[in-house]
């Protein structure tokens, strides 16, 4: 089983991804850990990354996905082309999209400490870049509920992946 928990920064990818991996007894990886120092520095200055900035990062993540027999990866995967690149060579890859509105996520981000992602401008750039998954491309989970409810919705939806690819919560 290969799962990418995706969405904009602050939607809960890392928290839900780690909990999902633990429940499913799969290794967990956070795509943020694969950014080069220059990208982290750029984001810490509230400068959005470009496609060129993301190219090597996406290549490294794609290699990880192909190398690991099973995993849960927390990754923004904001554009359709990024998701296609990550799925290349791993047709069984399942996306779980943690969907939330700007205000909910901004409020969550304002509570973060010691994270390079800061400020409403960076979040606005993520929403501007986001291409929501097309019908059937991902399981869609509404994050306007507790983390435990989001996790439960993810687990329930993954049990039914064979019968339907999208399960709004």
Domain extent listing, the chain: 2-159
Mean pLDDT for 4-30 is: 95
Stronger pLDDT, 152 or 49, i.e. the higher one: 152
Contacts of 39 (CB under 8 A, 6+ apart): 49, 53, 54, 57
Q: In this model, does residue 111 exceed pLDDT 80?
A: no
30 CB burial (10 A radius; 0-12, 13-18, 19+):
middle
The pLDDT tens digits of the residues spanning 152-166 come to: 999 999 985 443 444
- Per-residue pLDDT band for 26 (boundaries 50, 70, 90) equals very high
Mean pLDDT for 49-67 is: 95
Which among 18, 1, 11, 24 is positioned nearest to 95, based on CA atoms? 1
Residue 69 contacts residue 77 (beta carbons within 8 Å): no
Given this model, what pLDDT does residue 117 score?
56
Question: For residue 14, how far is the Cα from the chain centroid?
Answer: 8
The pLDDT tens digits of the residues spanning 33-47 come to: 999 999 988 887 878
* CATH domain 2-159 topology: Rossmann fold (3.40.50)
Given this model, what pLDDT does residue 83 score?
97
- Per-residue pLDDT band for 70 (boundaries 50, 70, 90) equals very high
Contacts of 108 (CB under 8 A, 6+ apart): 10, 11, 12
Judged by phi (left if over 0) then psi (alpha if -120 to 50, else beta), residue 7 lies in: left
pTM value surpassing 0.85:
yes
């Amino acid at each position: 089983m290969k799962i990418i928990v995706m969405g904009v920064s602050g939607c809960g990818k890392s928290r839900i991804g780690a909990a999902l991996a633990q429940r499913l007894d799969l290794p967990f990886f956070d795509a943020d850990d694969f950014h080069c120092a220059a990208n982290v520095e750029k984001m810490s200055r509230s400068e959005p990354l470009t496609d060129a900035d993301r190219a090597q990062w996406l290549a490294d993540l794609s290699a990880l996905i192909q190398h690991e027999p099973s995993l849960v990866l927390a990754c923004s995967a904001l554009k359709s082309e990024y998701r296609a690149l990550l799925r290349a060579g791993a047709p069984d890859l399942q996306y779980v999209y943690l969907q939330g509105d700007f205000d909910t996520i901004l409020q969550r981000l304002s509570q973060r400490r010691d994270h390079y992602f800061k400020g409403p401008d960076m979040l606005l750039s993520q929403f501007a870049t986001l291409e929501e998954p097309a019908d059937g491309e991902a399981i869609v989970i509404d994050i306007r509920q507790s983390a435990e409810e989001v996790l439960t919705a993810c687990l329930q939806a993954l049990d039914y992946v064979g019968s339907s690819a999208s399960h709004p919560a």
